[in-house]
Amino acid sequence: MIVIVDYGMGNLRSVYNKLKRIECDAKISSDPEVISKAEKIILPGVGHFKNAMEKIKEYGLFELLNQKVLKDKIPVLGICLGVQLFTKKSEEGDVEGLGWIDAETVRFSIPEHQKIRLKVPSVGWNSVSLVKTDSLLFKGIDPQELFYFVHSYHLKSTNSSIVLGTSNYSYEFISCIEKDNIFGTQFHPEKSQDQGMQLFKNFVKM
């Protein structure tokens, strides 16, 4: 069973609907008892980093998520804000995250001469350049495919081992990560048509 974690900050239903289309046994829940039985976890998210971390702690999920991901080693997929929560801290609210990966969440810093053309948030389709071409998460996905992004913040890290792929918006940024059982995408696979569907299928099969 896959549990889509409801911490009050996500486009949960669209992720759920995608999983049901591939006939996946999925539930949306904030109930610690349900999450404790999950075989895989998805942490989606749209919203503010600080508020999200406060909700995770308020709902009693902080230690449970650490147990499931870091100790039980079940696969976890973070989407947009969800993957940002994996980082050590964020400029959005200046708070600590879950700390699962060696990275920080920072706001886009667009040079003045590009601000007319490149707005923040970045909204629209963008490509992903894979660093790890053998990743199971991207199996069967054409490298020329585009994915849908909506974000003002992105991951920043000097630890290249966690970087699965990068994208470009004024400059190169980390758009997907992979570390053991931990996966994340800055883009929204649930809004990325067939290639997003394939990514979900790949995660389900892990």
Instruction: Name every residue whose Cβ is closer than 8 Å to that of residue 206 and which is 6 or more positions away in sequence.
Output: 40, 75, 136
Confidence of residue 113 (pLDDT cuts 50, 70, 90): confident
Largest CA distance in the chain: 52
Has residue 164 got a pLDDT over 90? yes
From 29-33, 38-42, 101-105, 110-114, the region with the lowest mean pLDDT = 110-114
Instruction: Name every residue whose Cβ is closer than 8 Å to that of residue 17 and which is 6 or more positions away in sequence.
Output: 190
Confidence of residue 35 (pLDDT cuts 50, 70, 90): very high
Confidence of residue 143 (pLDDT cuts 50, 70, 90): confident
Confidence of residue 192 (pLDDT cuts 50, 70, 90): very high
Q: What pLDDT, on a 0 to 100 scale, did the predictor assign at position 63?
A: 97
Provide, rounded to the nearest whole percent, the portion of the chain with pLDDT above 90. Answer: 92
Residue with tokens 């889509």: 4
Chain centroid offset of residue 68 CA: 17
pLDDT, the chain, mean? 95
Of 143 and 81, the structure prediction assigns the larger pLDDT to 81
12-21 vs 193-205: helix axis angle to the nearest 10? 80
Of 45 and 23, the structure prediction assigns the larger pLDDT to 23
Confidence of residue 8 (pLDDT cuts 50, 70, 90): confident
Residues designated catalytic: 80, 188, 190
Q: How much is the average pLDDT of 59-81?
A: 97
